[in-house]
Amino acid sequence: MGGDPGIGKSTLLLQASHSLSKTMGTVLYISGEESVPQTRLRAQRLGTLGEQLYVVCETNLETVLKYIEQLQPKAVVIDSIQTVYRNDLPSAPGSVSQVRECAAELMLLAKGKGICIFLVGHVTKDGSIAGPRVLEHMVDTVLYFEGDQHHFYRVLRAVKNRFGSTNEIGIFEMQEKGLIEVENPSQIFLAERPLSVPGSVVVSCLEGTRPLLVELQALVSPTSFPVPQRRSMGVDYNRVVLILAVLEKRLGLHLQNQDVFVNAVGGVKVIEPAADLGIALAIFSSYHDRVLDPRVAVTGEVGLAGEIRAVNQIEGRLGEVANMGFERFLLPMSNLRQKNLVSEIKMIGVSSLQQVFSEVLEK
Whole-number pLDDT of residue 63:
96
Q: Evaluate if residue 277 carries a pLDDT over 60.
A: yes
CATH topology of domain 2-183: Rossmann fold (3.40.50)
How many Å apart are CA 325 and CA 39, to the nearest integer? 44
CA 345 vs. chain centroid, Å, equals 29
Q: What percent of the chain has pLDDT over 70?
A: 97
Beta pairing, strands 153-161 & 169-175:
antiparallel
pLDDT of residue 193: 87
CA distances from 354 to 102, 305, 335 (A): 59, 11, 18
Average pLDDT over residues 282-305: 94
Alpha-helical segments (H) within 77-216: 96-113, 134-138, 185-189
User: Which runs of E-coded beta strand occur in the chain?
Assistant: 2-3, 27-31, 53-57, 75-79, 116-120, 141-147, 153-161, 169-175, 178-181, 200-207, 210-222, 230-233, 258-264, 296-298, 301-302, 308-309, 328-332, 346-350
pLDDT tens column, 162-193: 998 877 778 898 888 899 998 888 887 788 88
pLDDT at residue 108, as a whole number: 94
Are 52 and 26 within 8 A, CB to CB? yes
Assigned CATH topology for domain 188-360: Ribosomal Protein S5; domain 2 (3.30.230)
Q: What number is the average pLDDT over the span 54-65?
A: 96
pLDDT band at 134 (very low <50, low <70, confident <90, very high): confident
Average pLDDT value over all residues in the chain: 90
Is the predicted pLDDT of residue 363 greater than 50, yes or no? no
* CA-wise closest residue to 360 among 246, 266, 281: 281
pLDDT at 150: 67
Give me the sheet containing 346-350, strands edge to edge: 230-233, 258-264, 210-222, 200-207, 296-298, 328-332, 346-350
Residue 120, pLDDT above cutoff 50: yes
| pLDDT, position 130 | 73
> If you average pLDDT over residues 279-302, what whole number do you get?
94
**pLDDT classification of 152: cutoffs 50, 70, 90:** confident
In the chain, where the domains are located: 2-183, 188-360
d(CA 251, CA 257): 16
Question: Mean per-residue pLDDT for 105-111?
Answer: 94
Residue percentage of the chain with pLDDT more than 90: 68
Lowest model confidence (mean pLDDT) among 2-6, 240-244, 301-305, 324-328: 2-6
Mean pLDDT of 16-28: 96
Residue type, 335: N
DSSP label of 121: B
- Cβ-contact 195, 201 below 8 angstroms: no
362 pLDDT above the threshold of 60: no
pLDDT digits (tens, 9 = 90+) for 224-271: 888 999 999 999 999 999 999 999 999 899 999 999 999 998 778 888
Q: State the average pLDDT over residues 121-133.
A: 77
Q: Is the pLDDT of residue 45 over 80?
A: yes
pTM value? 0.75
Query: How far apart are alpha carbons 25 and 190 in whole angstroms?
Result: 41
